[in-house]
Amino acid sequence: MRDTTLNAIAIVIFGVTMASLLGPLIDLSPAVVAVFVAVGLGVFSVDQLGLSGRIGNILMDAVAWASPDHRQRVLHHEAGHFLAAVLLDIPIEAYTLNTWEAWKQGIPGQGGVVFGPGDPAALARLTPQSIDRYCQVWMAGIAAEQMIYGDAQGGGDDTATLTLFWNALGRSPGEAPLKQRWAALQVKTLLEKHREAFDQLVMAMGDRTPVADCCALIEQHRAALESTNFRH
């Protein structure tokens, strides 16, 4: 069961407990509490069995999204993925910043930057250079948080995905952590080099700027940087 769904169920149980304790004081009917329990557990059962925890994720996202600090963390994390993917020539299909946005767009999971490879059969066609690039993109969210905040609070799904990717390639599972650390260091250097583009991208994604416009913004910065380096 997903952590977010467990947390949401815990909130329901806490609410029921408080209602039971305070009910006599505020003249709350036990029948109301019973209905609340039945509805709450029914919704979360359907969520877990039929919706893969989406309702729980949406509720917990809504609570977390009320925090400006959390919103900025998410923006910087996802901007790291987005910028790295464009700079490393990996196509981006879409991006979302929370579970609700992902649900509305028909994207599975809790949101984020959607990039390839979507077809598992494509793994066999990846070159060593492409593998390195994908690993860097997956670690870019963590690297972006570390660059801005000094630490990373998100990224558990990213490291898990990279590990699955590594295993799907038939590589030794013991090598995955080493690859994660290598990719994180490489992509952090890349993000620092393009810090101006990163800052602009954070603002653009915060305004939900379309993917094509975000990519164009990055390409403009890349062209300007390359032109400056050429003159020097």
How does pLDDT run across 195-204, given as a tens digit for each residue? 999 999 999 9
User: What are 96's strand-pairing partners?
Assistant: 112
- Predicted local confidence at residue 154, as pLDDT: 85
Report pLDDT for 54.
54
- Beta-carbon contacts of 39 under 8 Å, excluding residues fewer than 6 positions away, are none
Q: How confident is the model at residue 119 (pLDDT cuts 50, 70, 90)?
A: low
- Please state the pTM of the whole predicted model: 0.73
CATH number of 68-231: 1.20.58.760
pLDDT of 120 strictly over 80: no
Delimit the domains of the chain by residue range: 3-65, 68-231
pLDDT at 203: 96
Give 85 or 15, the one with higher predicted confidence. 85
Per the prediction, the chain carries an average pLDDT of 79
42 or 173, greater pLDDT: 173
Question: Is the per-residue pLDDT at 153 higher than 70?
Answer: yes
Q: Report the pLDDT value the prediction gives residue 232, as an integer from 0 to 100.
A: 57
Average pLDDT over residues 11-23: 58
Q: Where are the beta strands (DSSP E) in the chain?
A: 92-96, 112-115
Question: What proportions of the chain, in percent to the nearest 5, are helix, strand and coil?
Answer: 75, 5, 20
| Mean pLDDT, residues 161-190 taken together | 92
Please report which confidence band the pLDDT of residue 105 belongs to, taking 50, 70 and 90 as the band edges: confident
Percent of the chain with pLDDT over 70: 66
Query: Average pLDDT for residues 120-133, to the nearest whole number?
Result: 78
Alpha-carbon distance of 72 to 69, in angstroms, equals 5
Task: Let me know: does 140 contact 218? Beta carbons within 8 Å.
Answer: no
Q: How many CB atoms are located within 10 Å of the residue 41 CB?
A: 14
Beta strands 92-96 and 112-115: pairing type?
Answer: antiparallel
- Sorting pLDDT into bands at 50, 70 and 90, what band is 117? low
The closest alpha carbon to 35, from 57, 54, 12, 52, belongs to: 12
Pick the more confident residue, 188 or 39. Answer: 188
Share of the chain above pLDDT 90, in %: 44
**Distance between CA atoms of residues 195 and 203, nearest Å:** 13
pLDDT confidence tier of residue 145, bands split at 50, 70 and 90: very high
Please state, in angstroms and rounded to a whole number, the distance separating the CA atoms of residues 145 and 76. Answer: 6
Can you tell me the mean pLDDT for 169-198?
A: 94
